[in-house]
Amino acid sequence: MSTQRIDVGGFVYDPSTGNTSRSTPSSVLAAIGARARLWIAEYIRRRAFRRAERELYMLDDRMLQDIGLCRSEITSAVRNPVQERINGAQPPVAASF
């Protein structure tokens, strides 16, 4: 019969013996490192979105119209580029010749 050790919140439960013990420091550090990497990646992603929004807001209305956006669609276009715009406008359709 196979039993698995369960690690929850820094404690390890071993079903074969019924004992609960503290996790090893290396596993705790690994979990903290994984969380830190996720946090850093999310921070970098949010910064990139803000930078793209800022650059689009600096364009004039004519340039935005040329790329198929209006000022109210900038945030939704940056954060959700593939799907339909939040305000209901359809994304531009590529012309086929």
Would you say residue 12 has pLDDT above 60? yes
User: Is residue 53 within a helix (H) or strand (E), and if so which, with residue range?
Assistant: helix 25-57
d(CA 6, CA 95): 56
Report the residue count for the chain. 97
Q: Where are the domains of the chain?
A: 6-79
Average pLDDT on 8-12 reads 64
Q: pTM surpassing 0.85?
A: no
DSSP summary character for residue 2? -
Q: What is the pLDDT of residues 55-68, one digit of tens each?
A: 999 999 999 999 88
| Cβ atoms of residues 70 and 91 within 8 Å | no
d(CA 28, CA 87): 45
pLDDT of residue 80: 78
More confident residue, 96 or 47: 47
Token digits of residue 4: 């698995």
pLDDT of residue 57: 94
Would you say residue 8 has pLDDT above 60? yes
